[in-house]
Structure 1
Amino acid sequence: MSPVPLGVVLVGIVEDMMYSVRALGALDLPQVLTLNNEAVPAVNELDADALAALVASAAHSVVVTSTADPATVLGFVIGFAPRAEYASENYRWFGARSNDFLYVDRIVVAPTARSGGLGQVLYGSVFEAARKAQAAEVFCEVNTFPPNPRSLAFHSRLGFTTIGEQSTKGDTVVVALLAAPV
């Protein structure tokens, strides 16, 4: 389902920075793990093995880099298609309601690259993958407790609407369950 086959690089310009989007590869995993764990609690903390397993079973996993420094990962997204072997409570919630989606499990942009348009670039890759798979919707969730108002506003600008709410992790996290048409 990935719109960016391994070895293929898409290039564009955002905020006067040339960027590339490419498949997330094994050499990217250490940087992706660092970015992921720096973004907690917006995303779940992972260890190296859990991250590798996620990427291996994902339908869509890409990184964005600057063309000036293609070895440095500025952001990433990992998504799943229906019927994946994935135990996430939120993924299961969406899977119980639809078989026609691409689920964004996690999307992270490095703190130094935020507000530069790269989140929108990464979501562009998600929507392109969903179109190629002929999926009807893109699903994701955003924390409402602990609150993440910046992410909720960002997703709203991209056309996501709330279709549910769920308490997870022993009632320590509450998420808004979001959907956007493809």
Structure 2
Amino acid sequence: MTVTSAALPRPIAPADVPALAHLNDAAVPAVNELGAAGLAAHVPGCDVALVVPDDDGAPLAFVLAVAPGAGYASENYRWFSEHRPGSLYVDRIVVAPHAHGRGLGRTLYAAVAGRAHELGLGEITCEVNLEPPNSQSLAFHARLGFRQVGEQVTKGGAVRVALLARTLDGGHAGEQVRALTA
């Protein structure tokens, strides 16, 4: 598996689902386990569903984001719908461990920011685990300009999350998209 610096996201195809489910489920507890059937059921409800493949087509990273008004039953999506309406919610972003530090997360967030701009949305939102801790993700999101706007306990008390938001200025969204990829 090789990665070029020009790795670009593309829409997730049905054939990607088994490999993406493996990548997702290997990232537990940073994200919740879905399995191939769960991921296949979730992708069509996402407004953004992108994968970054390596030169051989194997997935290195992916992002799923849900627009306002979707019928998504996530506790975190529901919190953002109530407290931060008008945001594009990043349900999950996963980068293969061997591909960390190559800018793939920034590339995927730039695509999410571009889609938020197209939809006329002012924010990108997401959550990151505080318990169990995910300090790498918290630091990554802070570097991208996310700030904590709330906190909640989910999954019946098993997980505590920081609820994060990144504002996108309507007049400067293109500059902010470029800044995310820089």
Q: TM-score range by the shorter chain?
A: 0.7 to 0.9
SS of equivalent residue, structure 2 residue 141 = helix
Q: Name 2:119's counterpart in structure 1.
A: 133
Q: 2:7 aligns with which of 16, 19, 22?
A: 19
The answer to which structure has the higher strand fraction is 1
Q: Name 2:103's counterpart in structure 1.
A: 117
Structure 2 counterpart of 1:59, which letter? Answer: D
Could you tell me the percent identity over the aligned residues? Answer: 50
Q: Name 2:20's counterpart in structure 1.
A: 32
Q: Name 1:58's counterpart in structure 2.
A: 46
The separation in 1 between residues aligned to 2:156 and 2:86, in whole angstroms, is 29
SS of equivalent residue, structure 2 residue 34 = coil
**Residues 99-114 of structure 1 aligned to structure 2 (within 5 Å):** 99-114=85-100
Which structure 1 residue ranges, 4+ long, deviate > 6 Å from structure 2? none
SS of equivalent residue, structure 1 residue 49 = helix
* TM superposition score normalised by structure 2: 0.88
Q: 1:16 to 1:49 in 2, by over 3 A?
A: closer
Is 1:174 the counterpart of 2:160? The answer is yes
The Cα RMSD (Å) is 1.2
1:47 Cα deviation (Å)? 2.1
Contact 2:125 2:163 in 1 (8 A): yes
The separation in 1 between residues aligned to 2:105 and 2:129, in whole angstroms, is 17
Q: Name 2:71's counterpart in structure 1.
A: 85
1:16 Cα deviation (Å)? 6.1
SS of equivalent residue, structure 2 residue 84 = coil
1:125 Cα deviation (Å)? 0.8
Gaps of 5+ in 1: 1-14
How many equivalent residue pairs? 166
The separation in 1 between residues aligned to 2:5 and 2:48, in whole angstroms, is 24
Q: 1:31 to 1:164 in 2, by over 3 A?
A: same
Is 1:161 the counterpart of 2:155? The answer is no
Q: Name 1:150's counterpart in structure 2.
A: 136
The separation in 2 between residues aligned to 1:115 and 1:148, in whole angstroms, is 16
Structure 1 counterpart of 2:38, which letter? Answer: A
1:37 Cα deviation (Å)? 0.1
Gaps of 5+ in 2: 169-182
